[in-house]
């Protein structure tokens, strides 16, 4: 049977089921620290080396929860080599949505 749910919704369902099994959730300041670090070092690190180079140390399970959240929310992406890059650009989207030559 083919899955008819949109990709984003399917990702959130998977993330929700994953999060139900977690005993400790990351604090907001920790999530923001990881987001900022990835944004500043986009395309430089793979998962484990990113974790090792963060400015604040954390458990790998906590780091994995944050990475899974960022992947599901489509703020980051991983290439085929496992390198993590920041892809979320709301200002860029606004710029293109305001262009009359691109509207329907």
Model pLDDT, residue 1 = 45
Residue 17 covered by a domain? yes
The whole-number pLDDT of residue 21 equals: 67
- Assigned domain for 60 exists: yes
CA-CA distance, 46 to 44, in Å (whole number)?
Answer: 7
Looking at the DSSP assignment, which residues form a beta bridge with residue 85?
Answer: 77
pLDDT, position 16: 63
Residue 1 lies in a domain: no
User: If we measure between CA atoms, which residue out of 56, 61, 73 comes closest to residue 26?
Assistant: 61
Kindly state whether residue 54 falls inside one of the protein's structural domains: yes
Residue 1 burial (CB count, 10 A): 3
Number of domains into which the chain is organized: 1
- Residue 2 belongs to a domain: no
**21 domain residue, yes or no:** yes
Domain span holding position 25: 7-102
* Residue 70, domain CATH: 1.10.10
- Parts of the chain with a pLDDT under 50: 1
pLDDT score at 13:
61
């Amino acid at each position: 049977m083919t899955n008819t749910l949109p990709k984003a919704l399917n990702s959130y369902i998977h993330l929700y089921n994953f999060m139900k099994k977690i005993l400790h959730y990351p604090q907001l300041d920790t999530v923001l620290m990881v987001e900022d670090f990835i944004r500043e070092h986009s395309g430089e690190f793979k998962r484990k080396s990113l974790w090792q180079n963060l400015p604040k140390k954390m458990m790998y399970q906590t780091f994995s929860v944050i990475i899974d959240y960022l992947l599901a929310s489509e703020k980051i992406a991983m290439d085929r080599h496992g390198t993590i890059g920041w892809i979320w650009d709301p200002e860029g989207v606004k710029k293109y949505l305001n262009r009359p030559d691109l509207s329907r």
